[in-house]
A and B are shown apart, each in its own frame.
Chain A
Amino acid sequence: MSKGLDVGTSYIVLSSEDESGKVEYKDFRDAFYVIKPSTPIASKMIEKGLAGKTFVRDADGAFIILGKDAIEKAVERNDSAKRPMFKGVVSSKEKDARRILTYILKEVAGKASKKGEKIVFCIPAQPVDQEDDDFDVGYHEDVVKKVLEESGYEPRAINEAEALCYSELSDDDYTGVALSWGAGMVNVCVMLSGDPVLTFSTTKSGDWVDRMAAVATGESDSLVQAEKEGGDFVIGQPNDNQILAAVATYYDRLIDYTTKQLTACLDGHKSLPNFKNPLPVVVAGGTTQAKGFVSLFEKKLKANGFPLPVKEVRHASDPLHAVARGCLIASQIL
C-alpha cells in the first residue's frame, strides 16, 4: 500500500486505495481562524458556540478553528480566514502557519500503515513571474517531508503539474501539457512519453481573483471566496451581483495573463522537443471549476499565440482530485 498527497494552498487531499483497489480521497480545507477569548467566561461561551465545529485549543487558551469552519467563522465576523500556506508553499517566516500545517498534515495523512510506507506529495515549480525570498520550495519540501517522516512514511516529492500529467495523460502515451490551477498558483508541465521535459509556475490564480474582487467591492477575501464558490456566474459575462461581476471580470484577466505567460515561457524554449503530433492540454484545480473556464482558456490560448500544436483542451475527469490521483499513481512506480 502507498499513498498520494496533494498539499495545496486551498485544499489538502490524501489519496489511497481501499481493499478492493478503488481510489478514495480525504479532503480538508487548508484554512484556520484564531479566536482569543478575553475572559474565562468568554472562553466558555466561545467553546459552546463552536460545538460541532473543527477546532483545537492552543497553549495560550486561543481557539484555532480549522478547515471550512474557519472560513464560515471568519465570514460571520466580517473577517478573512488565514492560510497555513501562501502561493503554494508554507511560509518560512510564519511560525503559526508551520505549526498549523503540521497539525493538519498529521491529522489528514494519519500514521503510516507500516513503517516506511511510501507516500508521494506534490510541490510547486519555481515561479517565472516572481522573485521572492519568502517563496522557498526547498524549505516547504523539507517541512512536509519531516512531518510525514515523523508519521512513519517514506515521503517523496514530485511536481504538482507532473502529478496531473500522470493522472490525465494515460490515453495519450503520457505526452501533453497539464496546468494545475490551484488557489495560490498555476503549475505547468510539458510531458513527453512520461518524462517531464519542462515545469514552471505562475503566481496568480484563484486567490488573486478573490483579492482583486475583494479590493474592488470592499468585502473580505473570505466572503468573496464563499460567494465565488457558491454563486452562479459565467466568466466574462455581466452579473447583477457586484461581487460575482468582479470575480467574472478578474477571471477573464487571469486567464489572459496566464496564457500570455505560457506563450512567453514556451516560445523557442531549448528544452522543448519537436512534437510530431498535436498535444492534449489538460486543466484541473479548484480555479477551473468556474463556468466558461475551459472554453475561454482555449480561446485565449489561440488568441495569445500558444506555440505548440494543440489537439484539444480538456477538463480533468475529477478536477479537485486529479493531482492527488497522480501522486498515488507515482507512489506505486517511483
Chain B
Amino acid sequence: MNEIFYLGAGSFGIFMIGFGTGYFAGRLNTILTIFKDKETQSFVAAVAKDQKEQVLAAKKKVEIDDRKFVTDLSTDDMKNVEEQNLGIVVKTNDNIADATSKLAQLKKKKE
C-alpha cells in the first residue's frame, strides 16, 4: 500500500516539477520582456532627459543679432563751399617695419 502511495506521490511530484518548469519556460520570454522593457523605459527616459538638457543648453547660446541697422548715411546735402581739405598732415621719421615684423613673428608662432 505504502509503495503505491510513494509511487503516486513521486509521479505527482515529477509531474509538478515538469509542469512548473514548463510554465516558467513558457513565461520566461514574457518575464524577460518585462525586465527588458523596464530597462528600456528608464534608458529611453534618461536619453530623452539628456537630449532635453542639451537642447536647453544649446538654446541659451543662440542669440538673435539685434544690432541696430545702419540706415543710409548720405552726406549729399552737405556742401563744401570752399573746397577745403579736412585735416592737418603731420610727417614723421618714424618707421614701423621693425615693430610690424616682430609682431608678425609672434602671431605666426601662435598659429
Chain A residues engaging chain B, CB cutoff 8 angstroms = 12, 14, 17-18, 21-28, 47, 51, 54-59, 64, 66-67, 92, 98-99, 102-104, 106-108, 136, 138-139, 142-143, 146-147, 150, 166-167, 170, 173-174, 193-195, 318, 321, 325, 328-329, 332-333
Contact A166 to B99, CB < 8 A, known contacts A25-B89, A325-B94, A333-B107:
yes
Instruction: Find A170's partner among B79, B84, B99, B110 (CB 8 Å cutoff).
Output: B99
Instruction: Find B103's partner among A55, A58, A174 (CB 8 Å cutoff).
Output: A174
Closest to A63 in B: B81
Contact A27 to B87, CB < 8 A, known contacts A56-B81, A146-B70, A147-B73:
yes
Q: Nearest chain B CB to A214's CB is how many angstroms away?
A: 27
CA–CA, A23 to B96, complex, Å?
7
Name the interface residues of B44-101: CB closer than 8 Å to any CB of A. 67-68, 70, 73-75, 77-82, 84-100
Across the interface, do A66 and B81 meet the contact criterion of CB distance under 8 Å? no
CA–CA, A191 to B49, complex, Å?
43
Closest to A51 in B: B82
The yes or no answer to B4 lying at the interface (CB within 8 A) is: no
The yes or no answer to B1 lying at the interface (CB within 8 A) is: no
CA–CA, A146 to B91, complex, Å?
28
15 interchain pairs (CB within 8 A)?
A: A21-B97, A24-B90, A24-B92, A27-B87, A27-B88, A57-B79, A66-B86, A98-B73, A136-B67, A139-B67, A173-B106, A174-B102, A174-B106, A321-B90, A332-B96
Apart from A26-B89, A143-B70: 16 A-B pairs, beta carbons within 8 A: A14-B87, A21-B97, A22-B91, A22-B92, A24-B90, A55-B82, A57-B81, A67-B86, A92-B68, A99-B78, A107-B85, A107-B86, A139-B70, A174-B103, A194-B103, A332-B96
CA–CA, A146 to B74, complex, Å?
11
Q: In the assembled complex, which residues on chain A have CB atoms less than 8 Å from the CB atom of B89?
A: 24-26
Q: In the assembled complex, which residues on chain B have CB atoms less than 8 Å from the CB atom of A26?
A: 87-90
Instruction: Find B78's partner among A57, A98, A194 (CB 8 Å cutoff).
Output: A57
Across the interface, do A104 and B103 meet the contact criterion of CB distance under 8 Å? no
Closest to A99 in B: B75
Instruction: Find B79's partner among A54, A56, A166 (CB 8 Å cutoff).
Output: A56
Q: In the assembled complex, which residues on chain B have CB atoms less than 8 Å from the CB atom of A150?
A: 73
Across the interface, do A142 and B67 meet the contact criterion of CB distance under 8 Å? yes
Name the residue among B74, B100, B104 with the largest chain A CB count within 10 angstroms.
Answer: B100
Q: In the assembled complex, which residues on chain B have CB atoms less than 8 Å from the CB atom of A147?
A: 73
Across the interface, do B78 and A27 meet the contact criterion of CB distance under 8 Å? no
Q: In the assembled complex, which residues on chain B have CB atoms less than 8 Å from the CB atom of A28?
A: 86-88
